[in-house]
A and B are shown apart, each in its own frame.
Chain A
C-alpha cells in the first residue's frame, strides 16, 4: 500500500496548499482500470453502499498520504456525462457538489480517443481535475508512445501516467492531486467551439448569470442547455428558446471529437500500424464464411490441449500421490496412531484432496489458453462470430460470452448474464450456461475417459463439450419457439433492439506474459484453495459416512452409512447403467462441488484393501470388479454433464433469478434431464454393443 512505501517526494507548496483532508472522486470509462487503481490506494479499507435513492453502487475508501487522510469515492464506470442514465446523473451531481475536492479521471491510455471524450466533459464542468493515464504498460507493449507533455499542454490539466497493475506512478498521481485543489479550470478555454456555437454559449451565459448570479460554472450549464439536457433544463428553467432553437448536441459532440482527433494526432504515436495489423487479422478471424469454423477449431484445440497435454504431467503427480500415501501410512504406523486416524488421513484426506490436485496441470492449461484468447483481443470477436448462430436460436452473440465463461466456472458466468438487458434472454442464458461444463467437471471427464477409452480419451472428453453446446443451443431454440407461440397468442410484438449486438473490438495485441501469468496464477490459487477447503471438508465427511456404519467403524465400506445412502439411488440409476451405490453416492457428493465426484471415487475405489497402493490402477480393478465398464462410464459422463451444478452455482442462480420457485425448477429440470439423457445413451448405445 502507498503509505507503506518509502516516500522520497517531499510535499512542496507551489501553487496549492496541502489540505488536511481531501475528498477525491475516481471516474472513468468502464474497463479503464479505474477500480484497480482505486483498490491500489484503498486496499482492504473499503465501504460499499448505494448512492442515496438509487441502485447504483457507491464505493468509498480512505488512505493515508503524508499524514493526511484522503477519502476516495469510486464513481460508476461511464462513457459520458449526460442525463440519460442513472449512473451518469449520479456522477454528475456528485462532481458538482461540495462533497468532492478533486476529480481523478482514470483513462485507458491504450484507448485514448474514447477516454478523452469523458475527459473533455469533465474539463467543461470545471472542478479541479487530474488525468491519470492508466495502462501505460499496455501502450508500451503495443509499441505506441504518448507525448504526455503535449497532452498536458493541450488539456491544461496534470497528466500523470500510471499503471495500476504494476503499481507505478501512484505517488506522483496523489502528489498532483494534492496540489490541484486550487486549480481554476472554469476560466480556462480548452475546448473551444465554432463561432456560431460560442456566440450562443455567450448569450446563454449572460442569461444564466442573470438568473442565478451565484451559479457555479455558467459556461458548463450553457453548453448543457444548448444540448437540451433535460436535467439542466429543469434546474435552470429559463426561457432560452430563441437561442436554443434546436438541439445542438450532435454539433457539440462532433466538435469535441474533432478536437480529440487533433489531440490524438499530436500525442499518440504509432497508432496507424496497429490498425492495419488488426484489419488484416480480422479479415481472417472474422471472415464471413470461415470465421465460425475457425472459432470452433480454436476452441476444439483449447480443450484438446487441456485433456491431452496435461496428462503427461498428471502421471508424475499421480506417482507422487501414491508415494505420499504409502509414506504417510508407514509413518503413521510407526507412530502407532491407530487404524482410524490412519484411514482418515490416507484413505480420506489424501485420497480425496490428492486426486483433485493431480488434475491441476489440465486446469492450468485450460486457463492458460483462455487467458491467451482474452489478452490477445480475440474474445471480443467471438460474440460477433457466434451472433449468426445465436440469433437463430433466439439469442444475441452477447449471450455467448457468459456461456464461454461457463467453461471456467458457472458462478462468474451467471453473473456475466447481467450484461444482457433483455430479461428473457437472461433467463434463457442462465438456463443453458450450466451445460457448458465448468472446469470442475474436467477431473471427472479425464478420469473416466482415461480409465476406459484409451487413446480415444481426449475425444470422449471433448464430446462432452460438443454435446453440451449443441444441447444448450437446442434448448434455447425450443424455448424460443415456445415463446414465439405464446407471444403470438398474447399479440406481443417485442422489439428486438435491446437484444442487438453492440460490442467494441479492441485492436489485437501480443498477449502480455505478465497479465497472463497473473490470470492463470489466480485461477490456480483458487483451485488449490478450493481443494484445501471445500474438497477437504467433503472428503472428511465422505470418509466418515463410508467408514462408519450401524456397527461403528467398518472395514468393508459396503456396510457403511454412505453405502446405505447410495443404495437408495440404485434402482433409479439402474436403467442408466449407474446402478451402483458407490456411483450414486459420488453423484450426490458432487452437489457440494463437482470435483468431489472424483474425490469420492478416489476414496471408494482407490483402495482394494488397506494394504494396496493408492492410485488409479487400483481404481480400474475395483471398477471392473463391480461391472462398471466403458459404456457405464460414458453414461456417467453424460449424467455429470447435465445434472445440477454445485451448491455455489445454484445459490447464484437463485440470487440472479430472485425466486426460489424458479431455482427449484432449474434444479429439477436439470436433474431429470440428466437422468433421461443418461438412460437414453446407455440403453440405445447398449443395443449396438
Chain B
C-alpha cells in the first residue's frame, strides 16, 4: 500500500521507495530506507504526510509520498531487529581500550527492548486518527 493509505500510529515496513535521485538520497540519509520500520503520524488535507523513521520525524509532500510503498509490520520484522544486531555480541564491537565491555556481557539486547517499547506504545498509546 502507499504511505497515503497507511493508518496513523501503526508500524509498517518500507517496501519500496521509487523516488528519483537526489531526493531519494536525502531521504535515505534521514532514515527512509527500504526495509526500515516506519510509523505514520499525521496527514494533511493536501496529502502531505508526517512520519517517523529511525528516530527522525519527517514531513513530505503528497507526490513524494506516493512513491513510498509500505507493507504491514509483521512480528518477524520486529524479531529480526531484535535478534539481528544482538548476534554480533562476539564480534568485538564496543572496542574498549581493554575495558572488556563486550556487548554480550550486558544481558538483554538493548535493541530488542527498544522495539518492545515501540510496539507497546503502538498498541496502547496511539489512536487511529484517520
Contacts and interface: CB of A to CB of B under 8 A. Distances in A.
Given A253-B33, A387-B48, A279 B41 contact: yes
A192 B93 contact: yes
Contacts of A140: none
B55 A288 contact: no
A36 interface: no
B34 interface: yes
B91 A384 contact: no
A257 B36 contact: yes
B64 A500 contact: yes
Contacts of A283: 42, 129
Contacts of A82: 25
Contact of A113 (B19, B56, B96, B121): B56
A248 interface: no
Contacts of B34: 250, 254
Given A261-B81, A397-B48, A502-B58, 12 more contacts: A85-B25, A113-B54, A194-B84, A257-B31, A262-B111, A272-B121, A279-B126, A286-B44, A383-B59, A388-B45, A497-B64, A501-B59
Interface of B: 19-23, 25-31, 33-36, 41-46, 48, 50, 52, 54-61, 63-64, 81, 84-85, 88, 91-96, 99, 101, 110-111, 113-114, 117, 121, 125-126, 129
A265 interface: yes
Contact of B85 (A117, A189, A259, A397): A259
A80 B29 contact: yes
A154 B103 CA distance: 9
B61 A264 contact: no
A176 to B, nearest CB: 14
Given A117-B29, A387-B46, A505 B113 contact: no
A80 B60 CA distance: 20
Interface string A441-483: 0000000000000000000000000000000000000000000
Contacts of B31: 113-114, 257
Contacts of B19: 497
A88 to B, nearest CB: 9
B44 A291 contact: yes
Given A266-B110, A502-B58, A261 B85 contact: yes
B42 A282 contact: yes
B20 A497 contact: yes
Interface string A269-296: 0011001101100110011110100000
B81 A258 contact: yes
A504 interface: yes
A286 B41 CA distance: 10
A497 B63 CA distance: 7
B61 A507 contact: no
Contacts of B56: 113-114, 504
A673 interface: no
11 contacts: A82-B25, A114-B30, A153-B95, A192-B92, A254-B34, A282-B41, A288-B44, A384-B44, A388-B46, A497-B64, A502-B23
Given A79-B26, A276-B121, A283-B129, A189 B92 contact: yes
Interface in A92-140: 113-114, 117
Contacts of A272: 117, 121
A504 B21 CA distance: 18
A288 B42 contact: yes
Contacts of A286: 42, 44, 50
Q: Which 3 A-B pairs have the closest CB atoms?
A: A388-B46, A79-B29, A501-B61
Nearest to A391: B46
B30 A505 contact: no
Nearest to B9: A279
A662 interface: no
B33 A254 contact: yes
Nearest to A266: B110
B7 to A, nearest CB: 14
Interface in A360-396: 380-381, 383-385, 387-388, 391, 396
Nearest to B106: A266
